[in-house]
Amino acid sequence: MKISDCKHYPKNPAKPNADKCEGGDPDPELRVCLTCGHVGCCDSNIFQHAKNHAKETGHAVMAYYPTDEFSPIWCYEHNDYLES
Residues near Zn ion, by CB under 5 A: 6, 8, 21, 23, 25, 33, 35-36, 38, 41, 47, 49, 59, 75, 77-78
Any bridge partners for residue 32, and if so which?
Answer: 39, 63
- Least gap, CB of 68 to Zn ion (angstroms): 21
- Least gap, CB of 42 to Zn ion (angstroms): 9
Instruction: Determine the Cα–Cα distance for residues 55 and 76; give it in Å rounded to an integer.
Output: 9
Q: Which is nearer to Zn ion, 8 or 67 (CB)?
A: 8
- Least gap, CB of 49 to Zn ion (angstroms): 3
Q: Which is nearer to Zn ion, 69 or 78 (CB)?
A: 78
Instruction: Determine the Cα–Cα distance for residues 26 and 71; give it in Å rounded to an integer.
Output: 21
DSSP element (H, E) containing 54 = helix 49-57
Q: Which is nearer to Zn ion, 35 or 65 (CB)?
A: 35
The residues near 51 (Cβ < 8 Å, ≥ 6 apart) are 40, 43, 76
